[in-house]
Structure 1
Amino acid sequence: MLNQDYSLPVTIATAGQQWEASPAAKVWRKKLERQQAESGRATSVVRYDAGASFNTHQHPDGEEILVLEGVFSDESGDYGPGCYLRNPAGTEHAPGRSRVASYW
């Protein structure tokens, strides 16, 4: 567990964090909050290298995305900087076709 005590304030200077490899090639992240290693509630800053993609996967508890720069793409469309997406619990998608993108 990482930063799961919601009664405590948390401040993270993400600029000082190192990018970590994710399970998908050419997809990097900075973990901010995690319930479990690769499942459950999680908050991350994510960077997709050009041409990177994820296999289709589910989000049992839903997902929120805020595109910071570049373009985030999945089968529903392409989303540029400032776009906010919320996928309801139980949805699935396959992010890909992205040109360098960062989101959390």
Structure 2
Amino acid sequence: MPRRQLVIEIPALGAIDRNRGGIGRQLAEALRNAISRGELAAGERLPSTRALAESLGLSRGTVTEAYEQLMAEGCLDAQPGASTKVPAVRAVFSTELLVLTPTRTMLDSPRA
């Protein structure tokens, strides 16, 4: 039986800076960016939290935190007993501020 690969390569992740803190946030940001750039394609399976944690030298809790954040944002999809995947259709959230300006309504118009 072939041995499981110990190092998971996701080139888009880049380096995690342990001195910067917020390792879970850094991992979530790196995965989010890889998804938005198409480096992790729709339907692509991600490694299990255990395998990715071992590969990156992180705790499983840190990887789980990043996966859960991305699932809450709609960037990842996971079902119990199934692998975590990049969803085929992803919700798009804008970080731009929506500014509403008043417009004339029927209430503003002069009564006849």
TM range (shorter): 0.3 to 0.5
What TM-score, normalized to structure 2? 0.32
Which has more helix, going by share of residues?
2
After TM superposition, the score normalised by the length of structure 1 is 0.33
